[in-house]
Amino acid sequence: MPRARPPGPRRLGAALAVCVMLVAGCSPAEYASPRAVDPGISAAAPPIDQRPTTVGIADSDLLGLPRDQVVKAVGLMKQLGVTTVRLLIPWAAIQRTPDSYDWTMVDKTVDAVVAQRMSILATLNSPPEWAMVPGQPAIVGRPASPAAFGSFAGKVAEHFHGKVSAYEIWNEPNGAAFFAPAPDPAGYTELLKAAYPSIKAADPSAVVVAAGLGSVVDHSTITMDPVKFVSTMYASGAKDFFDALAFHPYQYTMKFSESVHPDAPINQLSGIRQLMLGNGDAQKRIWATEYGEPSSELGEAAQAEFLEDMLGKWRNLPYAGPVYVYTMRDRDSQSRAPDDTLGIFRSDGTAKPAERVVTSYFGMRGSRREGASPAPR
């Protein structure tokens, strides 16, 4: 019987990739995009359509690419029909010391997406060493001061006013791989309480998305069940400090629509929704800010089937928001590591069967697959 996905290579791989990018400036292989645009074009970002029929791309590897490759990669997204992109804005890349700000690394990704008139969901995470709880690993340690994080979040919203439409506060804080030394929903809520008013003061129209919770089970001090995590968030006063909640319903051996196992992502999603209803948050949506299936697990055909199943099911959930497919391109299509094979393109730039599935959902509103209610229940 399949288990809920444990903290696997993709989780640790993503964190380590950010660390390498920030420290060494390394970048993944070049994208083979047919068209480039000038990222310096002045433009305002459109808002994110919050219906579950909105399908975007989450691409963490853009952060480490040189500017010309970022432009090429984003140009390919635009050509495929992407309208919204999830980008990383790591704290450590911007505020290396308490008194300095360097926007160079993140400006290149944000400007490239804005130039293509696509909306942006920006994930704020990865604190610099000076801002972490002492003794924790670089990048993945939790912030020592919610106030310092709140100040940083406000600076980001001020800097990207008119360019970034929504901010996701952290990535999978219910796992120690991103919130070391251990998941702490009450501590995470303090980050929300600090970030939310700072972002709104700088950009009142910005949408603040909480959590980006991983679909995991309780495992010692390594991971915490997302339903339990959200329950404690509400008990800690989170209700008034987020506009939407995020969930990452990964499960590499079970399709999203399958509910036979009690810890299946769709059952956890239902549990989170019940908590939202019980706390008077029926109007808030749940966004899937990451979902993918590695082709190294069950093969490329199964990857396409998993994505078809998830995207088809998601758009029929009346309380759901946008979904972001992770990711554009494999790091190494020959690898057996799940972290390396989540792309809808192979590492040589050729399309997998999953590419046709995902792109068929871009701009599909009004088609026969459209079945979602216009408002959450």
Structure confidence by residue, pLDDT tens digits, 273-331: 999 999 999 999 999 999 999 999 999 999 999 999 999 999 999 999 999 999 999 99
Residue 108 lies in a domain: yes
* 100 or 377: which leads in pLDDT: 100
CB 164 within 8 A of CB 206: yes
Whether pLDDT at 28 is above 90: no
Residue 22 lies in a domain: yes
Residue 211 lies in a domain: yes
What pLDDT does 211 receive? Answer: 87
What pLDDT does 22 receive? Answer: 58
What pLDDT does 71 receive? Answer: 97
Burial of 336 (0-12, 13-18, 19+ CB in 10 A): exposed
Number of domains making up the chain: 1
What pLDDT does 366 receive? Answer: 38
Banded pLDDT at 363 (limits 50, 70, 90): confident
* 254 or 21: which leads in pLDDT: 254
Helix 226-235 to helix 185-202 angle, to the nearest 10 degrees? 70
CATH number at residue 215: 3.20.20.80
Query: Which residues span the domain enclosing 111?
Result: 9-361
Strands (E), the chain: 55-58, 84-90, 119-125, 166-169, 207-214, 244-248, 286-291, 320-326
Q: Which two tokens stand for residue 58?
A: 């989450």
Whether pLDDT at 10 is above 80: no
CB 341 within 8 A of CB 332: yes
Please state, in angstroms and rounded to a whole number, the distance separating the CA atoms of residues 6 and 370.
Answer: 33
Residue 370 lies in a domain: no
* Residue showing tokens 């390594």: 222
* 137 or 74: which leads in pLDDT: 74
Please state, in angstroms and rounded to a whole number, the distance separating the CA atoms of residues 137 and 51.
Answer: 37
CB 36 within 8 A of CB 75: yes
Q: Which two tokens stand for residue 259?
A: 């509910």
Whether pLDDT at 349 is above 50: yes
Banded pLDDT at 30 (limits 50, 70, 90): very low
Residue 357 lies in a domain: yes
Whether pLDDT at 26 is above 50: no
Whether pLDDT at 21 is above 70: no
- pTM of the model as a whole: 0.89
Q: Which of 97, 102, 84, 93 is nearest to 63 (CA)?
A: 93
CB 213 within 8 A of CB 229: yes
CB 177 within 8 A of CB 15: yes
Residue 271 lies in a domain: yes
Mean pLDDT of the chain: 88
Evaluate the omega torsion of the peptide bond into residue 221 and state whether it is cis, within 30 degrees of 0: no
Please state, in angstroms and rounded to a whole number, the distance separating the CA atoms of residues 123 and 14.
Answer: 13
Mean per-residue pLDDT for 343-351? 97
What pLDDT does 20 receive? Answer: 46
Whether pLDDT at 168 is above 80: yes
The count of other CB atoms within 10 Å of the CB of residue 187 is: 17
The count of other CB atoms within 10 Å of the CB of residue 237 is: 13
Please state, in angstroms and rounded to a whole number, the distance separating the CA atoms of residues 74 and 94.
Answer: 22
Question: Where is 105: in which H helix or E strand?
Answer: helix 104-115
Whether pLDDT at 147 is above 90: yes
Residue 281 lies in a domain: yes
Residue 374 lies in a domain: no
